[in-house]
Chains A and B, each alone.
Chain A
Amino acid sequence: MGIKGLAKLLSDEAPDCIREEELKSLHGRKIAIDASMAIYQFLIAVRSGGPNHAATMLTNADGETTSHIQGMFNRTIRFLTEGIKPAYVFDGKPPQIKSGELQKRREKREKAQAELKKASEEGNVEEQDKHSKRLVRAGHKENEDCKELLRLMGVPVILAPCEAEAQAAALCVEGQVYATGTEDMDALTFKTPVLVRKMTFANASKATVQTMKYAKALEGLGLNHDQFVDLCILLGCDYCDSIKGVGPKTALKLIREHGNIETILEKGLNTSGKKKYEVPANWTPNKKKEDATDDEDNDDSEDNTPIPAYVEARKFFNHHEVLKGNEVELKWKAPQSEELKKFLVDTHCFNPERVQASIEKLEKAHKQNGKPQSRMDSFFTVKVNPVSAAKRKKKIETEKASKKKKTTGGRKKK
């Protein structure tokens, strides 16, 4: 999922773009949340079980899983109570280009299935647990359940034509929402200005989230957008294979040095002399095969893609199929309490008292959001405080920055 090692690379190379913030600080913001990611999280995390038998998912009387409903319900209420307006974006059809990745996932799942069988025969609870989590799959039914739930709660649901995180990022770029909420790092590759992660609130008292800013990430890495996309492809994305032997550090170095993948393939790898890199077969179309990278490539490669896979992936990142802002309805409506109760209690066997309490919270939150508290930063714009900014970066730069402060003047801004 996402971009391999990007989070780590950013925290090393561009620490300025990452911030831990209190959930509160997002109040009043609209956030487009990747629903599929959330559903997966719930299916894995919301479980019941004792120490002696493997944890199982919550189910209703018919044995249908309800973990995701429970999780989605509670988290959404939490958002609304904090004054945050969530909009959930669901995945559309999987893109053609992702089929390789999906195939891999399928294989992993089959493996886990076999392991689970073995573990339950042996009675190894820990292993059983591990593998049953790997088997989790958010299918059509889970998605439909959540859509129904959100509709009853009055929260907007957006059906992306393709990938959810791309759709969320597009809304964010257009300014329809403030941020994209997903764990998936490729939201940044899709250019979302702000990415919000770690919205799990496992610890109820201290709710913090992690925000990442696209502009600051690029600044910190010293790359432009095209270079950043190429970097993500080198790190490893869902849409094509990456070069074996190129890790995060090397990838960044290569991009900084050569600017794009084409030049890297031409110069960067061959001049290294060690030939330890293995370029995926479908990265080099036939006509190029002989001259550019003949040593890395197997001649018996049956893949005859006319366009190299990384170019496809790049195109995919930059021209993704999304709905425009005016094709999406972002309206937070009053919850339909009676139907909601029916849905949760009658269909999915939730505890009526708890549901009642939650619905009251939901109604209260909706009422409050009808007269929303505005945010300070919507009136006053952020200006860089040269002193503290410089202090944080390098102490040597302090002097220069303070001079700058004097010339740019005090706190008055016309």
Chain B
Amino acid sequence: MFEARLTNGVTMKQIIESIKDLVKDCNLDCSEEEISIQSMDSAHVSLVAVRLGAGAFDHYRCDRPNALGINTANMSKIFKMLNNDDTVTFKAEDEGDALTLLFEGQKNDTIADFELKLMDIDYEQLGIPDTPYKCSIKMPSREFERIVRDLQVLGDTCTISCGKEGVRFSVTGNIGTGNILTRANASAEKEKDQVIIDMEEPVELNFALRYLNFFTKATSLSDHVMISMSPEVPVVIEYPIQDYGYVKYYLAPKIEEE
């Protein structure tokens, strides 16, 4: 038996919205401690990892680990019917083939329930080593979203280079080139405007803008985005969900061949 009640139901809606363009089918892995999702896109270029700890829920019960295979597009359709202040309750039997979703409004006494059919998803989970990164950048998520959107006009590959002066996003395309430099300002008045760069050594990597753009779908989940890079490994772009979870995107770099 799995049962979880999320007062702030819209968080789940945002999570689904933030992965549905990248991932068609995925497993909601439920354990005693958390609900997690891990999936690669169909081209195996990027990976999304979601965690929502039991602490995020005001009621959480999971008798034994269970993998609930869902279609993100269908899940999203159901969450379209959720009001922003609704509470969501998830329920699934251990051997069941459906996930029950209960939407309860705060103001009125409406209760909506849905049953989403589950499926068997054959997914090979990847083990992600927990290594320290050479550069980590914390910046406003809106700012990152804007940069990615703007640079897409110029080309399809973005070079992210983190150096002493700040983070530089550059694109070279058929019509020309563009650079956006974001400087560190740890002392900004409002916390959400801060840009903090923690750098051990400069790193420069190339990425497909198309994927970065998919990632910015998570912008509404968090004021900040954390970008972590090391040479020749995938970048991690993390949107923290308060203290109890995250949506993390990993993107494999484009490699210069000799």
Interface residues of A (CB under 8 A from B): 19, 22, 24-25, 27, 370-385, 387-388, 391-392, 395, 398-399, 402, 405, 411-414
Given contacts A383-B127, A411-B127, contact A395 B44 (CB under 8 A): no
Chain A binding site: helix, strand, loop or mixed by DSSP? mixed
A376 and B47 contacting across the interface, CB-CB below 8 Å:
yes
A387 and B255 contacting across the interface, CB-CB below 8 Å:
no
Distance (whole angstroms) from the CB of A339 to the closest CB of chain B: 24
**In the complex, which of the residues A370, A391, A412 contacts B120, with contact meaning CB atoms closer than 8 Å?**
A391
B45 and A388 contacting across the interface, CB-CB below 8 Å:
no
Chain B residues within 8 Å of A27, by CB: 43-45
Distance (whole angstroms) from the CB of B46 to the closest CB of chain A: 7
Cα A288 to Cα B126 with chains together (Å): 54
Chain B residues within 8 Å of A385, by CB: 27, 29, 67, 123-125
Mask for B50-69, Cβ within 8 A of A = 1, else 0?
A: 00000000000000111101
Chain B residues within 8 Å of A380, by CB: 47, 126-129, 234, 250
List 9 extra interface pairs beyond A27-B45, A373-B255, A385-B67, CB under 8 A.
A22-B43, A25-B43, A371-B206, A372-B255, A375-B45, A383-B126, A391-B67, A405-B65, A412-B128
Distance (whole angstroms) from the CB of B36 to the closest CB of chain A: 8
B254 in the interface (beta carbon within 8 A):
yes
Distance (whole angstroms) from the CB of B131 to the closest CB of chain A: 9
Chain A residues within 8 Å of B45, by CB: 27, 373-376
B257 in the interface (beta carbon within 8 A):
yes
CB-CB nearest in chain A for B49:
A411
Chain A residues within 8 Å of B47, by CB: 376, 380
B254 and A25 contacting across the interface, CB-CB below 8 Å:
no
Given contacts A382-B124, A385-B123, A392-B122, contact A24 B253 (CB under 8 A): no
Chain B residues within 8 Å of A381, by CB: 126-127
Distance (whole angstroms) from the CB of B8 to the closest CB of chain A: 25
**In the complex, which of the residues B29, B65, B252 contacts A375, with contact meaning CB atoms closer than 8 Å?**
B252
Given contacts A22-B42, A395-B95, contact A373 B252 (CB under 8 A): yes
Cα A388 to Cα B66 with chains together (Å): 8
B208 in the interface (beta carbon within 8 A):
yes
CB-CB nearest in chain A for B122:
A392
Distance (whole angstroms) from the CB of A209 to the closest CB of chain B: 12
Distance (whole angstroms) from the CB of B42 to the closest CB of chain A: 5
A375 and B44 contacting across the interface, CB-CB below 8 Å:
yes
Cα A411 to Cα B65 with chains together (Å): 15
B64 and A25 contacting across the interface, CB-CB below 8 Å:
no
The listed residue with most B CB atoms (<10 A of its CB), out of A25, A370, A379, A412, is A379
**In the complex, which of the residues A19, A24, A378, A387 contacts B43, with contact meaning CB atoms closer than 8 Å?**
A24
B141 in the interface (beta carbon within 8 A):
no
Cα A27 to Cα B213 with chains together (Å): 20
Cα A372 to Cα B258 with chains together (Å): 11
Chain A residues within 8 Å of B66, by CB: 387
Q: How many residues of B contact A (CB 8 A)?
A: 39
A-B contact pairs, 16 of them (CB 8 A): A371-B254, A371-B256, A371-B257, A373-B208, A373-B254, A376-B47, A376-B234, A376-B250, A380-B47, A381-B126, A381-B127, A383-B127, A384-B125, A388-B121, A391-B67, A405-B65
Chain B residues within 8 Å of A387, by CB: 29, 65-67
Cα A122 to Cα B237 with chains together (Å): 70
Cα A386 to Cα B27 with chains together (Å): 13
Interface residues of B (CB under 8 A from A): 27, 29, 38, 40, 42-47, 64-67, 69, 95, 120-130, 157, 206, 208, 233-234, 250, 252-257
Distance (whole angstroms) from the CB of B156 to the closest CB of chain A: 9
The 4 closest A-B pairs by CB, nearest first: A413-B127, A385-B125, A380-B126, A383-B127
Chain A residues within 8 Å of B121, by CB: 388
Chain B residues within 8 Å of A414, by CB: 129
Cα A402 to Cα B40 with chains together (Å): 22
Chain B residues within 8 Å of A405, by CB: 65
B123 and A379 contacting across the interface, CB-CB below 8 Å:
no
The listed residue with most B CB atoms (<10 A of its CB), out of A387, A392, A413, is A387
Cα A58 to Cα B123 with chains together (Å): 43
Distance (whole angstroms) from the CB of B152 to the closest CB of chain A: 16
Cα A387 to Cα B27 with chains together (Å): 10
Given contacts A24-B42, A374-B252, contact A413 B67 (CB under 8 A): no
CB-CB nearest in chain A for B27:
A388
Given contacts A385-B124, A413-B129, contact A379 B257 (CB under 8 A): no
B43 and A374 contacting across the interface, CB-CB below 8 Å:
no
Distance (whole angstroms) from the CB of A78 to the closest CB of chain B: 15
Cα A373 to Cα B41 with chains together (Å): 14
Distance (whole angstroms) from the CB of B132 to the closest CB of chain A: 13
**In the complex, which of the residues B67, B95, B125, B255 contacts A374, with contact meaning CB atoms closer than 8 Å?**
B255
Chain A residues within 8 Å of B38, by CB: 411
Distance (whole angstroms) from the CB of A28 to the closest CB of chain B: 8
**In the complex, which of the residues A388, A391, A399, A412 contacts B129, with contact meaning CB atoms closer than 8 Å?**
A412
B67 and A377 contacting across the interface, CB-CB below 8 Å:
no
Chain B residues within 8 Å of A370, by CB: 257
Cα A19 to Cα B65 with chains together (Å): 26
Cα A215 to Cα B257 with chains together (Å): 32
Distance (whole angstroms) from the CB of B187 to the closest CB of chain A: 35
CB-CB nearest in chain A for B67:
A388
Chain A residues within 8 Å of B127, by CB: 380-383, 411-413
Distance (whole angstroms) from the CB of B233 to the closest CB of chain A: 6
Cα A24 to Cα B41 with chains together (Å): 10
A19 and B122 contacting across the interface, CB-CB below 8 Å:
yes
Chain A residues within 8 Å of B95, by CB: 395
Distance (whole angstroms) from the CB of B158 to the closest CB of chain A: 12
B257 and A377 contacting across the interface, CB-CB below 8 Å:
no
